[in-house]
Structure 1
């Protein structure tokens, strides 16, 4: 297996899985961990970086939408729920940004709600890093 291609595939899969596009990176992580000679730390870093950047892309879209269309609200029910939760619990709620279905709207709502970039990035990277660490720990050695 070409290690560079495998890591770029893992990064891309992790990035896309963390945007508002559908997809999952767990299977790619598992396959790469089994077939690749890359260290678990390298796999963890690659997947975490891609997934975090995807989450921050959703955050940036929310931030941009707030500035571009300040009079409009988030209209999708899942976005409204996410915005309500973000306003209630603040940036620590982004620890749950790795969750399927609700994680992506949480990141978007955080940007829309004015959660600052550094706290958002901190909680997103911690949550996503823990997720990939647990997934790698569960793989057979």
Structure 2
């Protein structure tokens, strides 16, 4: 049972970093299998938020490597995210869960030197809302295994 929650944490963590993973599918599957909804929500939110913190640290400390071939973001990805961030400020971190641009937003937040506490609160709120929506959707549809 604990392995399920730790597995969800790990997949949610990876999904928030630069690696392709889809934690919502595992989240919905575990929910449908009868795992505790509150625990699933908490583990997924924590893992996804901490994964985003990795992006914040990369943005904070590794942007000077942006012209290297191995650098995880291409200018075409960073540009729109940076414009979005400059327009809406730290509040854009509430959208850190969004595909493609979300990872870039968390990276840009590090680059823009957003205070880590502010980053963590806003990112966790947005990601928590996303998992709450998945929870409501799965429970509303009534999927069971």
TM-score calculated relative to the size of structure 1: 0.88
Give the unaligned 5+ runs of structure 1.
Answer: none
- Supply the distance in 2 between the matched residues of 1:115 and 1:80 (Cα, whole angstroms): 18
1:19, distance to aligned residue in structure 2 (A) = 0.7
Q: Does 1:77 pair with 2:76? A: yes
1:132, distance to aligned residue in structure 2 (A) = 0.2
Are the equivalent residues in 2 in contact too, given 1:52–1:128 (CA < 8 A)?
A: yes
- Supply the distance in 1 between the matched residues of 2:133 and 2:19 (Cα, whole angstroms): 23
Q: How many residues align?
A: 135
- Supply the distance in 2 between the matched residues of 1:21 and 1:79 (Cα, whole angstroms): 17
1:75-105 superposed Cα distances (whole Å, 9 cap, x missing partner): 5211122122212221110000000111001
Give the unaligned 5+ runs of structure 2.
Answer: 68-72
1:23, distance to aligned residue in structure 2 (A) = 1.6
Within 5 A, what are the aligned runs for 1:21-40?
Answer: 21-36=19-34, 38-40=35-37
1:70, distance to aligned residue in structure 2 (A) = 9.0
- Supply the distance in 2 between the matched residues of 1:133 and 1:71 (Cα, whole angstroms): 35
Pairing partner for 1:65 from 42, 62, 66: 62
Task: Sort the Cα spacing of 1:28 and 1:71 in 2 relative to 1 into closer, same or farther, 3 A.
Answer: closer
